[in-house]
Structure 1
C-alpha cells in the first residue's frame, strides 16, 4: 500500500487521540508525516565564546565555579551560578527552573545553550545538560516543528523518527532520473531522513535544496500540465477576428494608444484567433489604460459574431464600465447590458432572454454573470477583474453549458515576477508598462497628525479652485480596540469645519442604491469632498478629483495605498496624495518612505512583497498563492523559475505522458486532482 494512503495510525506510538491532533495539522497519512518538515533547527554544536555575537543563541561547555543562587519573586524563580567557559567567567541564568539547584555543584562540567548577553557577560539558559547523560543533545542539530494541541516537540521528533525507521525503505522517488542527475540531488528517502535529522548544517542544506526544488517543481508541474492539456484540447473558440474593423475602431478612439497598449492588444488578438481557450493576465499600473484594451478585445469578439462579458467586483464599477462602453460602442450599434444583484426580477428575466437570443452583444456585471441560469447564444470572451480570478471551477461551469470562451483577467495590482510566476503560472502574462501621454505624476506627501489644519486648508484650496477631494479612513465607525479615524466621525468633523461645502459619505454598510447616489453626485460635481472607506479603492474614475487624503495611512498595505492614490491624477490638472500617519513601527515608516519615493506600481509591489511576504500580498480573500511547506518565495525565487522551465519542458514532450520514468509524476497529477475532478485525457 502506498504511503500516501497508509493512515498515520500505522506508525508505532500514534494512538487515536494523537491521530486526531495530527489531522488538525493536515497530517492524515504516513507520507504526510514524513513530509511534515521542520520550520527551523536548533544547533547544539559546542562553540567558542569568543566567536559569539551579542544576542546570539549558542551552545558552550564549561565548569561550574560557584554555588547556585535561587531568587523568588511574584510566583516565579531566577536561578543563577558562575560558570568558567574558555577562560571567560560568565553568569548562567535559568528562569523557573528551581528544581535544578541541587544538581548544580561546583567543579562539575556542564553544557549550556541559550542567548548570550555580551555586555553583562550573561547567558539566559534555555537548555542545559551534564556530559555523559543519556540521550544528549550536545553536538546535534535538532528539528523544530510547528505543533498544536497537546503535542510536544519531544513527541513529534520521536514519532517522526519512528516513521522513518518503519517506512524509509518504502519512500518512492518522485523526480525522474533526468532531473536528479542534472542537479546532483540526493535520493528522496535520504533527503527526507536528513531534513528531519541532519548530521550537520551542510548536509541539512543539501536535503533542503532537494526538497525545495521538488516542492516547487511539483507545483509548477500542475500548472504546466493544466496548460498543456487545455491547449491540446483545441476546443476553444477560434475567433474570426475582423482586423480591419478593429484597426478602424482603435483609430476612432479619442486618444492614441501607447506602445505598451498596442503590444498587449496584439498578444490578445493573436490568442483569440487560436483554437485553444485563451487564459491571459493583463497587468498594468493604476491608470495605465487596461479598460480600453478590454474594450478593444470585446469589440473584436462582437465583430467575430460572438458575445462578450465583462465581470467586475462591485456594482459601482459595473455601472461605470457600462457607461464607458456605451460611449465607445454607440457609433457601431453594439448593444451593452448591465446585470447586477440590484436588477429587478423583471429586468433580469428580460435581460436573460435577450442574452440567450443573441440580442445583447456585451454584458457587464458582477459575479452574477456566471450563475447557473445565465445562458448566452455564443460567448466568445470573458474579461474579469483581479478580484474575480477566473479559475477552473468557473471554466467548468461554462464548459458544461457548451461554451469554452477565451478569458482575459485584468489586475490593477502590478505583480512582481516572483508572484506572477507562482500565482498565475497557468496564464500568459501581458504587461502595460507605460502610462498614457499627458498624465502628470501625482505629488505624494507624508505628514504627521499634528499637521491636520494644513491638510484641511489644502482641501479647501483644491475645492475652491473647482476641484474635488477624497478623504479615506480605515474604519466605518469608532472602535474600542483601534485608535484610528473612522469615516462617520471624520464626515461629521469635515461638515463642521466646512459648513458651506457639500461633503459625501461612502462605506460598505450602505445599500447599493445609497452608494450609487453618492458616487453619482460626486461624479457630477455636486459633492465636493467624499469621505470613504476603501470601498473606493478599485477602478472609480472621476477626472476632476485631484486630492487624495488618507487618514492613518500606516494601517494600509503599500499596494492598497497605491491603488487609492490612483483614484486621482486622471485629468489634466496636477494631483496630490497626502498620507496622514504617525508610524510607530519600522514597517509603517518603510511604507510611507516607499510611497513618497516612487509612483511606479511595479516598484511599490516589489517593496510590498518584501515588507509583507507573499502570503499577505493578495489578502486573505485571494486564492492562487500557495502556502509552501518548505520553500520560501523570497529566498527560492530562482529555483521557482528553474522548476517552471523544467516542468514546461517536460510536459511538452510526448514521452512524459507515456514513459515509465514519469509514472510517479503522472500518478501525482491524478492524486492531487489537478483538473478539479477532471480526469487527465
Structure 2
C-alpha cells in the first residue's frame, strides 16, 4: 500500500492519453495498478502428453516428422496439418489460416506449440507457435482484463516499469504478528508474485496473502461501522414485558417452532438494549416470519411505543394487515393500513390518529414514508422483502422516529458466506425449520413434448376446485430467445381451459392493475394465473396448489424456489412442475436439485456454486462488494477467519493504540467508516 496516491502518469511510458485509457479500467494511481490483478494465467510449461486431459490447453516441444499438408476452404481460409514427434509420441499439429508455413517448415525443425489438445485424434489445435525451443523469462504469464486501446502486453510492460520505480514504496498494513500467525508472505512479495509468478506454488501463496488482506480490510470496515452505529445509535431501551409476550405467544392459534422461539428471543433481547438494533431476519417461504414480526410488534406496543411494517405491494400490505389484525386486536391493539388507496378525509383522519398515538401498529407500502406521516413514538420498523426498497426509502422510514430499532425480513435464503459479506454490518437471525404439518411440495421436471400431459394434470386439479399459477420468462415473443411468452401462453390456455377463467399478469401493467389481477386470483375469480416472475414475492393464496414453470432452465435456483413457494400454503397437497428442455449440464443439474430438495438454504448454496456471487441477488443493490481478488464462494473459510479477527481487533483496546496497527487504522479512517450513515 503506497503512502501517497501517486498518479500513473509518473510511470515512465504512460502519457495523458494512456492514463485516460487506464482510468476507464479503474486504474488512476500506481497503487491501483499494483492491485489490478490478472484474471487468469497462461501456462507455457512443457507438458507430458500422458498426463494431459482432452480439450486442455497445453504447450509441447517436438520435431517436424513429415511434409506439411495444406487445404483451402476459400481464398482466405485454410488448414495446415503437420506431423510432429513429441517425446515418443507422433501427434498432428493443426494450424488455421497460416498457409505460408507450408514452405517454411522442414523435416527435423524444432517447434514449440501451444494450443488445445484433442485426445481422440492425438492432435493439437495450435493458437501460438515458435520455431525453435521456448525462450521465455517466465513460463507463467498473467492475462489482464483490458478494454479500449489497451492490450495485455501494454499492462505487463507498465507493471514491470511500476515495480522498478515504486516497489520500495509498498507498505504492508498487516502487523507482523498476523503474518506470522497465518504464515503469510509480505505485501511486496505477494504483489510481485501475482504479476510475475515463477511457479504455481508461489502464486498460491501470493493469492492466499492478498485474499486475507482484502477480506480483513472489508470486515474491519464492516465491524467498525457496526460499532460506530452502535455507539452513535443510542436508542431508547424498550422495556419488554416477558410475561406479556409469553401470554401473547400462548394465545396464538398454533405452537411456535424452535427456530421461531430462538429468533424471537434474539430480537426481543436487542429491543431491550439501549442501542439501535439493525437485524436481518431470513427464513424460507412459509417458515413463519410474519408471526415473529407480530410478537415483536406486540412487545413494542405493549411497552408504549409504536411499530411500523413496510412491504413492497398494496396486496401484501392488505394481507399483512389482515393477519396482524387477527393476532393483535384481541389484545386491545390498534392496527391500521396505509396505502396509496387511502385518500382524502380518511387518510387525514388516520394520520391524526397516528400522530396522537391512537394507532399502535401501522402497516403499509412506501406510502408510510411520505413527508406528512408522523408517529408519536416509533420504536420498531420492520421492512419485509427489504431488498425491494432502496437505501433512501429505508433511511426515510428510520428517520420517522428517534433512531428506532430496525428489523429487515427476507424470504430469499441467503447463503451464510454471502450473508457475512453483504450484511456484515447487521446481526442475522435465521428461521431454519418449517412449521409442523406443512406438506412438502412435490416437484417434477418434464420436457416440452410432455406439455399435453401437464395440461391434463392441471385440468384435473382445477376440476377439484383448486387454482394454478403458470409462469413464463418473457412477456412477448422474442427473436433472440426461443422461450414461451406470457401473452401466447395465456391465449393457448384460454383455449385449453374454456370452462375456467385465465388471468394474465406481467411487469408492464401498472401497480394498480397488478393488484387488481392478484386480488381476482386470491378471490378465485381467476382459476389460472399466467404471469411473469412478478408473483415471486409474498401473496398468500391457500387454494393454489399448482405451480407450472415454462422454460425453467431460464431461472436460477433461488428464483425457482421463490416461485415454488407461492403454492403449498393450504392443507391440500401442492405440486410444482418444471418444463425445461435443459441441454447444458448446469441446467440439468439445476432441475435435478429442484426435484430433490425443498430446503431453500441448501438450494441457495447450490445456486451460489453454480452461478457465482455476482448473479445470486440478481441486482447490484444487494450490497455485495466487488472484491479485486477474493471470491466469497471459494474463500469462505478465509472470510470467516477475517471476520473473527476483525471483530476481535475492533473490540480490543490495543488495536486503537498499537503502532503495528497504524496503517489498518489509517485505511479505516480514510474509508469514511466513522462518518455516520456513510456505508448504509
TM above 0.5, yes or no, is yes
User: How far apart are the structure 1 equivalents of 2:538 and 2:570?
Assistant: 15
Distance in 2 between residues matched to 1:585 and 1:121, nearest whole Å: 26
Instruction: Report the Cα offset of residue 548 of structure 1.
Output: 1.5
Distance 1:54 1:508 in 2: 46
Cα pair 1:471 1:531 within 8 Å, conserved: yes
Which shifted more, 288-297 or 123-132?
Answer: 123-132
The alpha-carbon distance between structure 1 residues 373 and 178, as it changes in their structure 2 partners (threshold 3 A), is farther
List alignment gaps of at least 5 residues for structure 1: none
Pairing 1:49–2:49 present: yes
**More moved, 553-562 vs 94-103:** 94-103
Task: Provide closer, same or farther for how the CA distance between residues 330 and 472 of structure 1 changes in structure 2, counting only shifts above 3 A.
Answer: same
- The residue number in structure 2 matching 1:311 is 310
Q: Give, in angstroms, the shift of residue 389 of structure 1.
A: 7.4
* 2-structure distance, mates of 1:221, 1:131: 53
Does the 8 A contact of 1:46 with 1:138 survive in 2? no
Q: Indicate if the aligned counterparts of 1:46 and 1:139 stay in contact, CA closer than 8 A.
A: no
Q: Specify whether residues 108 and 460 from structure 1 end up closer, same or farther in structure 2 by C-alpha distance, changes over 3 A only.
A: closer
Contact 1:472/1:487 (8 A) holds in 2 = yes
2:27 matches 1:38: no
- C-alpha distance in 2, partners of 1:510/1:390? 20
Residue 488 of structure 2 is matched in structure 1 by 489
The separation in 1 between residues aligned to 2:191 and 2:156, in whole angstroms, is 13
The TM-score, its normalising length taken from structure 2, stands at: 0.94
Shift of 1:679: 8.2
Query: In 2, Cα distance between the equivalents of 1:446 and 1:377?
Result: 53
- Specify the alignment match of 2:58 in structure 1: 58
* Alpha-carbon displacement from aligned partner over 1:335-363 (angstroms, at most 9, x marks no partner): 33333455546665554454344333222
| Distance apart, 1:130 and its partner CA | 4.0
Q: What runs of 5+ residues in structure 2 fail to find an aligned partner?
A: none
Does the CA-based 8 Å contact 2:398-2:406 persist in structure 1?
A: no
Q: Which moved more, 1:388-397 or 1:549-558?
A: 388-397
Q: 1:467-493: per-residue Cα shift (whole Å, max 9, x none)?
A: 222222222222232222222222222
Q: CA deviation at 1:47?
A: 3.0
Counterparts of 1:368 and 1:4, CA distance in 2? 48
Query: Which residue in the other structure is 1:363 paired with?
Result: 362
1:122 aligns with 2:123: yes
C-alpha spacing 1:253/1:43, structure 2 compared with 1 (3 Å) = same
In structure 2, relative to structure 1, the CA distance for the partners of 1:353 and 1:67 (3 Å cut) is farther
* Secondary structure in structure 1 of the residue aligned to 2:42: strand
Distance 1:433 1:231 in 2: 27
Aligned to 1:164: 163
For 2:457 and 2:178, the matched residues in 1 are separated by 62
Q: What displacement does 1:583 show?
A: 1.3
The answer for the alignment partner of 2:189 in structure 1 is: 190
The total of aligned residue pairs comes to 678
Q: Does 1:530 align with 2:500?
A: no
Q: Give the Cα separation in 2 of the matches to 1:418 and 1:429.
A: 12
Q: 1:499 to 1:143 in 2, by over 3 A?
A: same
Q: Does the 8 Å contact 1:392/1:676 carry over to 2?
A: no
CA gap of 1:137–1:3, structure 2 versus 1, over 3 A, is: farther
* Partners of 2:489 and 2:530 within 8 A in 1: yes
CA contact (8 A) 2:379 2:401 kept: no
The CA RMSD over aligned residues, in Å, is 2.5
Listed one character per residue, the Cα deviations across residues 216-243 of structure 1 (whole Å, up to 9, x for unaligned) are: 1111111111122222335123111122
TM-score w.r.t. length of structure 1: 0.93
2: CA distance, partners of 1:172 / 1:396: 38
Name the counterpart of 1:145.
Answer: 144
Specify the alignment match of 2:277 in structure 1.
Answer: 278
Distance 1:501 1:370 in 2: 41
**Cα separation, 2, equivalents of 1:371 and 1:4:** 45
Q: Quote the residue 1:24 is aligned against.
A: 24
Is the CA contact 1:393–1:676 (under 8 Å) kept in the aligned structure 2?
no
Name the residue aligned to 2:90.
89
Q: Once structures 1 and 2 are overlaid, which stretch shifts more, 497-506 or 530-539?
A: 497-506
Deviation at 1:647, TM superposition (A): 0.9
Contact 2:375 2:401 in 1 (8 A): no
